Structure 1
Amino acid sequence: MLYLIGTLAMDTRPFNADEVTRNSTADLAEKPVIGGLAPSEFTGEGKDEISLSGLLIPSKIGGLTELETAHQMRMSGARVPVMRGDGFRLGTFSITKMSETHQDLLRNGVGFSVKYTITLKKVQPDNDEASSVISGLLNLFDAFRN
């Protein structure tokens, strides 16, 4: 497993990721003073965003079901735990943006290859994280019905 976003597992197949970017900040409050550098005080963690991107080949190895599950998580605003493949828990995130590009369209309108990017933003965890996981599982089963 490469990453686990709630109940959505990213692995080498069928739903892979080949690039990860993480941007995070710290918040500092500056206090103006006369005749010197303004001292600053750490006020907490700032924004923390992760972007995962990859290339799917749906006609050969699949991956569209998992991509649709990610869209369902984005549309519901689910707050889910994110874990790296080595077991390190990154925190609670929500999917804020997704993009996909279908190339070399097949007869069914799906690309032979699909490039995608998923952007997640760190958020405050729900009081009951278990309900988010259950909600994610229900969304997963909902994706299979279509």
Structure 2
Amino acid sequence: MLYMLGTVVIDTSPFSIDEMERTAEASIVAKPVIGGRQPKEFTGEGEDDIVLSGQLLPYHVGGLDELETLHEMRRQGARFPVQRGDGWRPGWYGITRITESHRELSGDGVGYLIQHQITMTRVEADQGEGQQLIIGLINLFSALTGQ
């Protein structure tokens, strides 16, 4: 396992990533003073974003179902725990953007090669978030099976 986003396991197959980028900030503000240098004060942790990038080969190894599950999590505003393959848990995140680029389109409009990028931002975990994730996955399953 490379990463786990809620219940979606990202591994080398069928849904893989080959790049991870994390940007974390601290909030430091300047206090205005007269006749001197403005002192800076730490006011808390800032934004903490993770971007996962990779490519799919849907006709050879699959991966479209996992990509659609992540889109459903984005549409639902799901908050979920993130875990890296070595066990490190950076916290709870929500998906803010998914980009996908289909190349060498087949006759049904799906690319033989799909490059994707998943942008997530750190969020606070709320009570009942696991229930929201489960409801989102049930809705996705219903959409995929046509029920």
- TM-score, normalised relative to structure 1: 0.92
1:1-44, Cα deviation, whole Å (9 max, x unpaired)? 10111111100000000011111100112212234332112111
Query: What is the CA–CA distance in structure 2 between the aligned matches of 1:5 and 1:140, rounded to whole Å?
Result: 16
In 1, Cα distance between equivalents of 2:94 and 2:72: 11
Matched AA of 2:115: K
Cα RMSD of the aligned pairs, angstroms, is 1.5
Stretches of structure 1 that go unaligned for 5 or more consecutive residues are none
What is the distance in 2 between the residues matched to 1:90 and 1:126? Answer: 16
Native 8 Å contact 2:80 2:130 kept in 1 = no
Taking the TM superposition and a 5 Å limit, the aligned residue runs for 1:1-146 are 1-139=1-139, 141-142=141-142, 144-146=144-146
Moved more, 23-32 or 126-135: 126-135
Identical aligned residues as a percent: 51
Structure 2 counterpart of 1:120, which letter?
M
The total of aligned residue pairs comes to 146
CA distance in 2, matches of 1:138, 1:81: 18
For the 8 Å contact 1:7–1:137, the answer to whether it is kept is no
Q: 1:15 to 1:66 in 2, by over 3 A?
A: same
What are structure 2's unaligned runs of at least 5 residues? none
* Runs of 4+ with >3 A deviation: none
TM-score of the aligned structures, taking structure 2 as reference length: 0.91
